[in-house]
Amino acid sequence: MVKMIKFKGDFSELFSRREEFGESVSEVVAKIIADVKERGDAALMEYAQKFDGVVLKSLEVDKEEIEEAVAAADPRFLNTLTLAKANIEKFHRRQRPKGFKVRYGNGVVLGERVSAVKRAGIYVPGGTAAYPSTVLMNAVPAAVAGVEEIIMITPPGKDGKVNPNILAAAKIAGVSRVFKSGGAQGIAALAYGSESVPAVDVITGPGNAYVAEAKRQVFGKVGIDMVAGPSEILIIADGEQNPEFIAADMLAQAEHDTLASAAVVTGSELLAEKIAAALERRLSLLDRENIARNSIENFGRIIIVPSLDEALKIAEYAAPEHLELLVKSPRELLSKLKNAGSVFLGEFSPEAVGDYFAGANHTLPTSGSARFSSPLSVRSFTKRTQYIRYTRRALKKYGEGIADFAVREGLTGHAESVKVRLKG
């Protein structure tokens, strides 16, 4: 069922990239974006009927529906949402960037100001599952950053309503307005605005291939967090680990999507065999067994390596979204790693803790992009503005050199803008 590989130094067969945005996806998305730009709400309503199978009377979720969702929610769930929000806030407050000002002397002052974007849009997937955790992980950092207005979009259900757990999370997280729109059309509405949906400055949140491609296409009109691919986990395990824990963690990832990837790297052939057996046993325990089974059969890997050093090389090559270190000294191993979205240390830190509750963000770089990009954070909702001040004395001291620099680039207008002040 799961693919067993004895690693011999060749990375080529270890991880196949699961999804490319083909020409057909790009073309479909481009047409949808153009249509929403031209027809606004009318297009969004038609796409809701076409893709979600529902005729909407209004795109916006009214306040009463949100309050009803909160009132009807399980108190234990509301308590967990509230505690999770507090953890996310506590972690993300430490990320708040600070500006600075530097006086160089001679009348020269330089600085940088940090400010939040005015309006952020967050995408919360619907479809095969509802994700209130995504609401918290996107909205709370935006609120901590100081974003004035947080706009959430999510696909409606067949009844024309938004999942009540998502609405409860939106209320607790501080979302300003919620709209019933998903897919590429929802991203287009956030980027360009419609009669109902306000245009935003930054779009964050995960989605399918069409959502990811739409975010790629509107980048430049708005900022985006990342273009995310299918979810993935890599587990490094020594021979002393519990195979049931490892199999459970692999399946927790696999149940997301048939394209999700779950891999374990170990030096123990015996452990590898026990994990494979545990996977087959535990699959039947899942409500989403078919999805998880497809994922494990196609993209599950148990990689047997001769040493821990080889396991580290694989992790650095893969740059996984989630990396679990199930080894005797996980903190020691952590210090040797650079490429991962989020790292989970030890056997009692499963990925699910990070997905829902711990406080670190679960919106993470995928498909090897952790080599150069970072998790969603407060910084995703802020921007920096530089400022410069030269006094007359400062410009007199450095002006001739600046003008000469401009002339050497062939930009005499730049030079004259300095010289005219020196003459004065």
Q: Residues 215-231: pLDDT tens digits? A: 999 999 999 999 988 89
Match 């059309």 to its residue by tokens. 185
Rounded Cα gap, residues 37 and 14, in angstroms: 42
> How many CB atoms are closer than 10 A to CB 105?
7
Residue 409 annotated as catalytic = no
Shared domain for 80 and 180, answered yes or no, is: yes
Low-confidence ranges of the chain (pLDDT < 70): 12-13, 16-23, 127-129, 424
pLDDT at residue number 127 = 62
CATH number of the domain that residue 172 is part of: 3.40.50.1980
Same domain assignment for residues 170 and 54: yes
Number of helices (H), then strands (E), in the chain? 16, 14
94: Cβ contacts below 8 Å, ≥ 6 apart: none
| 383 domain-assigned | no
Let me know if residue 411 belongs to a domain.
Answer: yes
Catalytic residue among 92, 232, 256, 322: 322
Quote the CA–CA distance of 181 and 41 in Å, as a whole number.
10
Is 13 found in the same domain as 28?
A: no
**Residue 18: predicted pLDDT:** 46
Residues 158 and 243 grouped into a single domain: no
**Do 348 and 396 belong together in one domain?**
no
Q: Which of 196, 224, 252 is the last residue of a domain?
A: 224
Structural domain boundaries, residue 417: 391-423
pTM equals 0.91
Establish if 138 belongs to a structural domain: yes
Query: Do strands 382-390 and 108-116 pair parallel, antiparallel, or not at all (unpaired)?
Result: antiparallel
Closest C-alpha among 87, 79, 77 to residue 357: 87
Using the 8-state DSSP alphabet, how is residue 335 labeled? T
In a domain, 367, yes or no: no
Q: Which pLDDT score, from 0 to 100, does residue 300 have?
A: 94
Residue 406 lies in a domain: yes
One-letter amino acid of 86: A
Q: Residue 418 has which token pair? A: 């300095």
Task: Give residue 22's pLDDT.
Answer: 58
Active site residue 321: yes
Instruction: Name the domain boundary from 200, 224, 248.
Output: 224
Is the domain of 144 the same as that of 262? no
Same domain, 219 and 237: no
Does residue 398 form part of some domain?
yes
Of the candidates 255, 321, 347, 351, the residue annotated as catalytic is 321
**Domain C-terminal end among 195, 224, 253:** 224
Residue 174, class by beta-carbon neighbours within 10 Å (0-12 exposed, 13-18 middle, 19+ buried)? middle
267 shares a domain with 172: no
Check whether residue 171 and residue 280 sit in a common domain: no
Within this chain, do residues 290 and 154 fall inside the same structural domain, yes or no?
no
> Residues 176, 140: contact at Cβ < 8 Å?
no
| Residues 146 and 72 placed together within one structural domain of the fold | yes
In a shared domain, residues 140 and 188: yes
- 3-state percent helix, strand, coil for the chain, nearest multiple of 5: 45, 20, 35
Dist. CA 236–CA 226, nearest whole Å: 26
Assigned domain for 280 exists: yes
What is the total count of domains within the chain?
3
Residue 325 in domain: yes
Alpha carbon separation from 102 to 113, 115, 272, 385, 395 (Å, rounded): 12, 18, 57, 14, 17
